[in-house]
């Protein structure tokens, strides 16, 4: 097969240029864009959906234990056999090597079914993905729907969360995947690279961190600024937090960062949006992220400041019961280090699901402003009290929820000043760096899907 | 929580703050419109947070900038547009139960998204009602005047119940293009192609207020053209009506809309979507989707 007969699409070429150290992969089959190549010095396999004859690239990733990046070209045709084979090999590699799907255009029909199987889906602006045919949807709904309305870039970035990141062009998508893989080990038996000489020195106190947060718990602030202060300073031009699914359920932040040179995942309710409350989307986002970090041995740092589970009837799609159970499962199942800092409000059952001590976290610290309670103070105050009694009850409930009392009840390992938190976390990560978990012999657990 | 005689002193009203409740329903026969909170759900939520009965009045704050001092201990909540809230200069949570001590100042900053914030105070804003409502109707000039610095707002008797929840985690107003459902008619047959309404987008212009949103078509998109040019006898209109003057640029009626209109109404935004219109800023766009007329129960 010569390159002129089956030209590699420009978008695939552009993506490879952004991803690989050498600007392109070494092809496994002459003329194909798929193959393998170094990304930041570590080899990565690149498959092009529909153009991986015999699954050669996927087999190579399995054989060598290298991350598998699958590019979905615009309008990639996937027949039943190709769908089944891609699913089978993808599932066999799930949790073994990191898998990233990159959507360059329309990934409709069967191709849409492959995207959720990847660990992370990166899309180029304008990409779309829908299982259903627009004409069929129009017959059923009676509304004219175009492809983008069924599964456009914005819809998947915000509503479904299927696109974890949207890049402006293929090369930018390649660079994003490069940054993403830099945080990950090549496979589940390897360790993510640790960068030398973290700045600032983790032992150094950060006296200004406390001032980032409002005094009054519940007042909004951007938790990503807190993460950036706890994390190492990034390299020039890189973000301190590589956020995944940023536009989906923005009231809970997930992403990858570094602390003392080590990569770790971050889960943090976002007090700036909806009070950092947990609904189905937020809890499911956290659950899938924690399981993915656990699969590749990345420690998870959870920052807790949340209005709690969204109050909703069980028939409301927002009601987070099942998704919070998934998050509980993920935290309870995790063998990777779980570090938790309660920075603000932690009330109700939702706080247990957020990597609590009771659910199996290795270390749970709290800042002095933290409030840990079964119910928030307004809900807990007696309904029949007269004014002065009611106010006094609010104050008493708040005192009871303070971190020293919560530590006394066994919910916390201790209270730490914001300034000293980075040092405590760095020490904990060092202590925990060799932990490995073992699962009991079973076919698999039954995650509450 | 209001101690006897405790009220609110207005230090700064912001661009426009009015007293609003659920409005003056049933006064059309006197030529008086409904008025009431533009974002009814946001005021209702604020009232529920402070355990007020739903008919109590609160403050509708356009864009923010309101500053009030509590004369005695008060329980308040701020909902709607996510304005930064401070109590004596210290940031405080949105859509949450806030306890103000005597003399403390509640301040609303500028809304980053959305248009109208609502302040409920436990007991309700207890200015004198006019025709059964404390709402300001900005078109008719009816009801309590817009707030001015130095005003004193009395607060009504505290209701029996207590606040039940510290924070109501609700989603903020929509940004970007907002999709709303529209029931076609009653005068869609006055247009050559009323379906044009449901294509493309309509931009909200700065000439918009509580009376209505004035909409314009982005360049290159077709406007609504009249099929019948004769004068329409004036007829009653409802909140959410899309009235089309000869210019072809529709006016989408808000809570202070005129009671009757002389131009044909091509469609009416369904009730469930009317609140969202209250939070759409000039420059944002609307997309209309046809929805069936709601079933009206037999009398």
**Nearest by Cα to A381 from A369, A404, A408, A399:** A399
CA nearest to A342, candidates A278, A264, A404: A404
Q: What is chain B's percent helix, strand, coil content, to nearest 5?
A: 10, 30, 60
Residue A1's pLDDT band, with cuts at 50, 70 and 90, is very low
More confident residue, A150 or A123: A123
The Cα B129–Cα B133 span in angstroms is 5
**β-strand A371-373 against A345-347: which pairing, if any?**
parallel
Best residue of B75, B100, B169, B199 to probe chain A, by most A CBs closer than 10 Å: B169
Residues B192 and B137 occupy one common structural domain: no
Q: Span A55-82, mean pLDDT?
A: 94
Residues in chain A with CB shorter than 8 Å from the CB of B82 are 220
Residue B19 lies in a domain: yes
Whether residue A378 and residue B163 make contact (CB cut-off 8 A), yes or no, is yes
Token pair belonging to A274: 């909806």
**Range with the lowest mean pLDDT among A137-151, A371-385, B122-136?**
A137-151
Q: Which pLDDT score, from 0 to 100, does residue B3 have?
A: 46
* B contacts of A311 (beta carbons < 8 Å): 165, 168
pLDDT of A53 above 80: no
Q: Smallest CA–CA separation between A380 and chain B, in Å?
A: 8
Q: pLDDT-based confidence at A6, cuts 50/70/90?
A: low
Phi, psi torsion values for A391, nearest 5 degrees:
-60, -40
Distance from CA of B23 to the nearest CA of A (A): 28
Asked if A190 and A295 count as a contact pair (C-beta separation under 8 A), the reply is: no
Domain-embedded: residue B63 = yes
Mean pLDDT, range A23-39, rounded to an integer: 90
Q: Which residues of chain B make contact with A250, given a CB cutoff of 8 A?
A: none
Q: What is the pLDDT of residues A379-416, one digit of tens each?
A: 988 877 777 889 899 999 999 999 999 999 999 999 99
Do the domain assignments include residue B150?
A: yes
Chain B interface includes A275 (CB < 8 A): yes
Q: Are B12 and B66 in contact (CB under 8 A)?
A: yes
Q: What are the CA-CA distances from residue A133 to residues A145, A404, B80, B290 (Å)?
A: 10, 58, 38, 22
Domains identified in chain B, total number: 2
Q: How distant is the alpha carbon of residue A254 from its chain centre?
A: 4
Q: Is residue B46 part of a domain?
A: yes
Q: Are residues B276 and B145 in the same domain?
A: no
Q: Are residues B149 and B9 in the same domain?
A: yes
For A382-447, list the strands marked E by DSSP: 414-415
* Binary contact (B94, A387; C-beta < 8 A): no
Q: Which residues contact B231 (CB under 8 A, 6 or more apart)?
A: B262
Q: Are residues B259 and B145 in the same domain?
A: no
Structural domain of B184:
178-290
- Binned at pLDDT 50, 70 and 90, residue B185 comes out as confident
Residue A385: list chain B partners with CB under 8 A. Answer: 162
C-beta atoms of B99 and A214 within 8 A:
no
Token output for A11: 């978008």
| Residue from A153, A154, A216 to probe the interface with B (highest B Cβ count within 10 Å) | A216
Tokens encoding A134: 């627009």
Q: Rounded to the nearest 10 degrees, how much is the dihedral formed by the CA atoms of A126, A127, A130, A131?
A: 160
pLDDT score of A144: 66
Q: Mean pLDDT, to the nearest integer, of A77-105?
A: 94
Q: Give yes or no: residues B139 and B87 share one domain.
A: yes
Question: Which residues sit opposite B117 in a β-bridge?
Answer: B61, B80
Q: What is the CATH number of the domain that holds B215?
A: 2.40.100.10
My answer on whether B22 and B149 are in the same domain is: yes
Residues in contact with A313: Cβ distance below 8 Å, sequence separation at least 6, in sequence order: A319
Q: Are residues B118 and B194 in the same domain?
A: no
- The model carries a pTM of 0.93
pLDDT digits (tens, 9 = 90+) for A419-444: 999 999 999 999 999 988 778 899 99
pLDDT tens-digit readout, B10-46 = 999 999 999 999 999 888 888 899 999 999 999 999 9
Instruction: Report yes or no: A228 and A208 within 8 Å, Cβ to Cβ.
Output: no
Clarify whether residues B149 and B30 are in a common domain. Answer: yes
pLDDT at A4 (0 to 100): 41
Q: What is the Cα–Cα distance from B33 to B81, expressed in whole angstroms?
A: 25
Segment 221-240 of chain A within 8 Å of chain B by CB: 221
Whether residues B94 and A220 touch (CB distance < 8 A) is answered with yes
C-alpha B145/C-alpha B27 separation (Å) is 19
Whole-Å CA distances, B34 to A224, B29, B131, B261, B266: 44, 11, 11, 15, 21
Tell whether B83 is covered by a domain: yes
Q: A interface mutation test: which of B158, B166, B178 has the most A CBs within 10 A?
A: B166
B165 lies in a domain?
A: no
Please, are residues A343 and A268 in contact by the beta-carbon 8 Å criterion?
A: no
pLDDT in tens, A315-366: 999 999 999 999 999 999 999 999 999 999 998 999 999 999 999 999 999 9
* Strand intervals (E) in A160-241: 165-167
Question: Predicted confidence band at B5 (pLDDT cuts at 50, 70, 90)?
Answer: low
Sign of CA pseudo-dihedral A183, A229, A421, A246: negative
Average pLDDT over residues B120-142: 96
In A40-188 the beta strands, taken as DSSP E runs, fall at 42-48, 68-72, 99-103, 120-124, 165-167
Q: Give B46-99 pLDDT, tens digit per residue.
A: 999 999 999 999 999 999 999 999 999 999 999 999 999 999 999 999 999 999
| ipTM score of complex | 0.88
The answer for A 68-127 residues in CB contact with B (under 8 A) is none
How many CB pairs (< 8 A) connect A and B? 80
Strand extents, DSSP E, A260-299: 262-269
B211 and B85 within one domain? no
The reported pLDDT for the residue numbered A29 is 81
pLDDT value of residue A238: 87
Q: How far is CA A167 from the centre of its chain?
A: 17
Compare CB distances from A378 to B85, B164, B172 and report the shortest one's residue.
B164
Closest CA to A125 of A146, A151, A152, A150: A152
Min distance B149 CA to chain A CA atoms (Å): 27
Q: Which among B276, B271, B264, B284 is positioned nearest to B214, based on CA atoms?
A: B284
Residues from chain A contacting residue B161 (CB–CB below 8 Å): 383
Which two structure tokens, joined as six digits, stand for A149? 């309305």
pLDDT surpasses 90 at A52: no
Sheet containing strand A68-72, strands side by side:
A26-27, A35-39, A42-48, A68-72, A99-103, A120-124, A165-167
Q: CA B194 to CA B202: how far, in whole Å?
A: 14
pLDDT value at A237 more than 90: no
Residue matched to tokens 């974890």: A164
Mean pLDDT of A7-34: 90
**Helix axes of A321-333 and A280-295: crossing angle, nearest 10 degrees:** 20
Is the pLDDT confidence value at B4 over 50? no
**Claim to verify: residue B216 and residue B94 sit in the same structural domain:** no
Tell which of B124, B155, B186 closes a domain: B155
Residue B164 lies in a domain: no
The answer to whether residue B163 is domain-embedded is no
Q: What is the dihedral of CA A152, A155, A157, A160, to 10 degrees?
A: -120
Between residues A55 and B153, the one the model is more confident about: B153
Residues B14 and B148 reside in one and the same domain: yes
Mean pLDDT, to the nearest integer, of A204-211?
Answer: 94
Say if A211 is an interface residue toward chain B (CB within 8 Å).
no
Same structural domain, B124 and B13: yes
């Amino acid at each position: 097969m010569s390159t002129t007969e089956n030209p590699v699409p420009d978008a695939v070429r552009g993506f490879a240029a952004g991803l690989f150290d050498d600007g392109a992969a070494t092809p496994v089959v002459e003329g194909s864009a798929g193959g393998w190549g170094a990304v930041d010095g570590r080899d990565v396999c690149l498959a092009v959906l529909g153009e991986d004859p015999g699954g050669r690239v996927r087999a190579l990733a399995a054989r060598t234990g290298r991350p598998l990046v699958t590019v979905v070209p615009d309008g990639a045709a996937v027949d039943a056999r190709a769908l089944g084979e891609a699913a089978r090999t993808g599932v066999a590699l799930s949790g073994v090597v990191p898998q990233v799907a990159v959507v360059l255009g329309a990934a409709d029909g069967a191709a849409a079914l492959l995207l959720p199987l990847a660990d992370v889906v990166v899309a180029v602006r304008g990409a779309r993905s829908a299982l259903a045919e627009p004409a069929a949807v129009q017959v059923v709904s009676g509304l004219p729907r175009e492809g983008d309305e069924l599964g456009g870039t914005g819809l998947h970035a915000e509503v479904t969360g299927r696109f974890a990141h949207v890049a402006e062009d293929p090369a930018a998508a390649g660079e994003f995947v490069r940054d993403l893989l830099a945080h990950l080990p090549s496979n589940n038996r390897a360790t993510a690279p640790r960068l030398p000489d973290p700045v600032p020195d983790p032992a150094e106190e950060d006296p200004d961190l406390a001032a980032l947060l409002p005094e009054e718990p519940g007042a909004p602030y951007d938790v990503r600024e807190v993460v950036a202060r706890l994390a190492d300073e990034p390299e020039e031009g890189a973000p301190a937090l590589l956020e995944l699914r940023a536009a989906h359920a923005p009231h809970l932040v997930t992403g990858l960062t570094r602390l003392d040179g080590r990569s770790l995942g971050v889960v943090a309710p976002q007090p700036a949006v909806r009070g950092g409350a947990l609904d189905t989307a937020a809890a499911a986002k956290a659950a899938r992220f924690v399981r993915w970090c656990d699969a590749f041995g990345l420690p998870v740092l959870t920052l807790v400041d949340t209005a709690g589970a969204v109050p909703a009837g069980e028939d409301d799609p927002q009601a987070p019961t099942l998704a919070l159970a998934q998050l509980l499962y993920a935290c309870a199942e995790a063998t990777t280090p779980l570090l938790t800092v309660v920075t603000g409000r932690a009330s109700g059952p939702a706080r247990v699901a957020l990597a609590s001590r009771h659910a199996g976290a290795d270390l749970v610290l709290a800042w002095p402003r933290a409030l840990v309670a079964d119910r928030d103070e307004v809900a807990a105050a007696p309904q029949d009290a007269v004014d002065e009694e009611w106010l006094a009850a609010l104050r008493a409930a708040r005192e009871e929820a303070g971190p020293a009392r919560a530590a006394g009840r066994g919910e916390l390992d201790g209270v730490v000043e914001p300034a000293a938190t980075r040092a405590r976390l760095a020490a904990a990560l060092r202590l925990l760096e060799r932990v490995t978990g073992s699962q009991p012999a079973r076919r698999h657990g039954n995650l509450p899907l | 929580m209001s101690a006897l005689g405790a009220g609110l002193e207005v230090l700064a009203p912001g661009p426009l703050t009015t007293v609003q409740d659920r409005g003056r329903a049933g006064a059309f026969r006197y030529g008086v419109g409904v008025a009431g909170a533009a974002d009814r759900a946001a005021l209702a939520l604020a009232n529920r947070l402070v355990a007020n009965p739903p008919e109590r009045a609160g403050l509708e704050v356009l864009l923010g900038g309101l500053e009030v001092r509590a004369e005695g201990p008060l329980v308040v909540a701020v909902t709607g547009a996510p304005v930064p809230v401070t109590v004596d200069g210290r940031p405080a949570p949105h859509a949450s139960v806030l306890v103000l001590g005597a003399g403390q100042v509640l301040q609303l900053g500028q809304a980053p998204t959305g248009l109208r914030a609502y302040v409920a105070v436990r007991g309700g804003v207890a200015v004198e009602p006019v025709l059964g409502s404390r709402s300001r109707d900005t078109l008719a000039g009816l009801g309590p005047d817009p707030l001015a610095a130095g005003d004193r707002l009395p607060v009504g008797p505290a209701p029996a119940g207590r606040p039940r929840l510290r924070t109501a985690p609700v989603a903020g107003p929509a940004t970007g293009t907002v999709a709303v459902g529209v029931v076609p008619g009653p005068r869609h047959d006055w247009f050559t192609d009323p379906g044009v309404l449901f294509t493309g987008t309509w931009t909200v212009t700065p000439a918009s207020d509580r009376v209505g949103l004035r909409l314009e078509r982005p360049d290159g998109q077709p406007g609504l053209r009249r099929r019948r040019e004769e004068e329409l006898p004036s007829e009653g209109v409802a909140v959410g009506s899309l009235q089309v003057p000869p210019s072809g640029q529709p006016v989408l009626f808000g809570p202070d809309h005129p009671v009757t209109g002389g131009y044909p109404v091509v469609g009416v935004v369904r009730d469930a979507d009317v609140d969202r219109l209250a939070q759409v800023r000039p420059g944002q766009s609307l997309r209309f989707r046809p929805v069936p007329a709601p079933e009206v129960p037999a009398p």
